[in-house]
Amino acid sequence: MNTGAIDEVYTIIIRDGNNNSLYRERIIGGNFTKTFLFDRNEIGEEDIHFDVWCEKSREKISYVINYETRTVVDTQITKLK
């Protein structure tokens, strides 16, 4: 995928684990930056899928963001005198 060409057209699609589309945008140009904020109360603990399509080369790159909650308990041991 050539990310430096000004005339490249990309489509970004963000989907939840049920394949529902959360976001879609068509971007023209090679360099772009996007920041996303997701409300976990609305989405739940499902994976989030990012697909980036290059229209010219018909190439697709996919990413999956996994969400995991863990509880960590720190234990400290002290020698008694």
Q: Name all domains of the chain by residue range, CATH numbers in brackets.
A: 9-65 (2.60.40)
CA of 3: how far to CAs of 17, 28, 52, in Å?
28, 11, 11
What is the structure's pLDDT at 53? 92
The span from the CA of 53 to the CA of 27, in Å, is 10
What is the mean pLDDT for each group of 10 consecutive residues in the chain (81 residues)? Answer: 68 92 90 83 85 92 85 87 84
Q: What is the token pair recorded at 64? A: 């999956």
Neighbours of 69 (CB within 10 A): 6
What is the structure's pLDDT at 40? 79
Buried b (16+ CB within 10 A) or exposed e, 26-47: eeeeeeeeeeeeeeeeeeeeee
